[in-house]
Amino acid sequence: MQRALLTGATGFVGNYVLNALLADGFEVRCLVRNLERSQSLKRQGVERFVGDLSRPETLKDVVKDLDLVVHLGGLMTALTSNEFERINGQGTQHLVAACAELESPPVFILISSIAAAGTSGDQLRNEMDPVHPISHYGRSKRTGELAAAAAADRVPVTIMRPPFVFGGGDRSGFYIFRPVKRFGIHPVPGMRHRRKISLIHAEDLATSILLAAHGGTRVDATDANRSFFSQGCYFVADDATPLYSDLGDMIGTAVGRASVVKLPVPDTLARTLGGIATMVSKLRGRPGVFSLDKAREGAAGSWTCSTEKIKQELHFKTSVSLEDRLQATVDWYLEHRWF
């Protein structure tokens, strides 16, 4: 039986990836920071290792005797750019360095983000486009990509760049669904600019990770000095790239709303509200879902990506339509009484 390490297993996407690894026959171990807070993993029969991405000395034992590492762990929100870099950037460097010290390093799948590449403009972004991250989060994910690529001469590395990930159990995405369900309102940043968005359901992302693990190309170490990856990097998304304003209508259909009011939010107002939210988060001592960093991303333009490469090389395709995935997500929220 093959052995896999999963970081970020206690998170929303981690749950889907863990289930996919177990269903694929992997013996899974998980890196956790606290045993008490990861009891659900114990009940699923996985091996838990206590460690911290910011402390490289805690990572040496957890990577031994592995066939695969899926590095999903990281920060989506943080109070400062330094926090992002410490975990998303330096943490990735520490983990891949621990793998590089092994005589037989495992395949290393890094779950990055479209934010590491930047906005798409009018054309779908592809893997050969030069990157231009515009947020602290995006820059920290790019730092992680470069750290993994720098070790690619010793470790077989593949980088996955999902866009907006959604699905049952997602707390961040829930704040997009909730105003549509409760009030029939869908706030739209920069509505006049008709910005588009790529999305991927967490289950489809998990499927793509297994495809990349078994048959994906690996990063060329020389690409660590370039602004793009010639191989070993994949955008993964649903083929649909709706206008963000139209996403509100799609969610409205899923929640049973006959009509949805699109509420334009000027970019300047979004940044102002983001700045206020960031100050409140700092006073409370913990980051919130919305921040100035997220407002910058929302105001930057379209976030869309091409799936041609992953479809051609790995034969990836989403299992059901985007509309069905949105409906299933709403059904999960309803079943668990989140609304």
236-290, pLDDT tens digit by residue?
A: 999 999 999 999 999 999 999 999 999 999 999 999 999 999 999 999 999 999 9
What is the value of pTM for the model shown? 0.96
Q: Does 258 lie in the same domain as 137?
A: no
In the prediction, which pLDDT does 296 show?
A: 92
CA distances from 159 to 52, 111, 187, 227 (A): 21, 6, 32, 14
Would you place residue 38 in the very low, low, confident or very high pLDDT band (cuts 50, 70, 90)?
Answer: confident
Q: Are residues 252 and 233 in the same domain?
A: no
Instruction: Tell whether 332 is covered by a domain.
Output: no
> Per-residue pLDDT for 7 more than 80?
yes
Q: How far is CA 157 from CA 13, 107, 161, in A?
A: 20, 6, 13
Identify whether residues 160 and 276 lie together within a single domain. no
- Mean pLDDT to the nearest integer, 193-198: 89
For CA atoms 126, 154, 110, 66, the dihedral sign is positive
326 in a domain, yes or no? no
Residue 227 lies in a domain: yes
189 and 86, same domain (yes or no): no
Q: Is the same domain home to 225 and 267? A: no
**CB of 78 closer than 8 Å to CB of 287:** yes
- pLDDT averaged over the chain? 95
Look at residues 57, 51, 231, 64 and name the one whose alpha carbon lies nearest to residue 157: 231
What would the two tokens of residue 112 be?
A: 């990055």
Is residue 108 located within the same domain as residue 65? yes
Region 215-220: what's the mean pLDDT?
96
**CA 338 remoteness from chain centre:** 22
CA 167 – CA 221 distance, rounded (Å): 34
Banded model confidence at residue 35, pLDDT cuts 50, 70, 90: confident
Taking Cα atoms as reference points, which of 164, 166, 170, 165 lies closest to residue 338? 170
Calculate what percentage of the chain has a pLDDT beyond 90. Answer: 90
Domain assignment present for residue 339? The answer is no
Same domain, 141 and 247: no
pLDDT of 193:
66
330 lies in some domain? no
Check whether 304 has a pLDDT greater than 80: yes
Query: Is it the case that residue 191 has pLDDT exceeding 70?
Result: no
pLDDT at 192: 64
pLDDT over 80 at 223, yes or no: yes
Q: Is residue 337 part of a domain?
A: no
Number of domains, the chain: 2
90: closest CA among 36, 159, 150?
A: 150
Q: Once rounded to an integer, what is the mean pLDDT over residues 51-68?
A: 95
Q: Residue 248 and residue 270: Cα distance in Å, rounded?
A: 18
My answer on whether 101 and 184 are in the same domain is no
Residues spanned by the domain of 152: 3-167+198-238+304-318
Confidence band for 122, pLDDT divided at 50, 70 and 90: confident
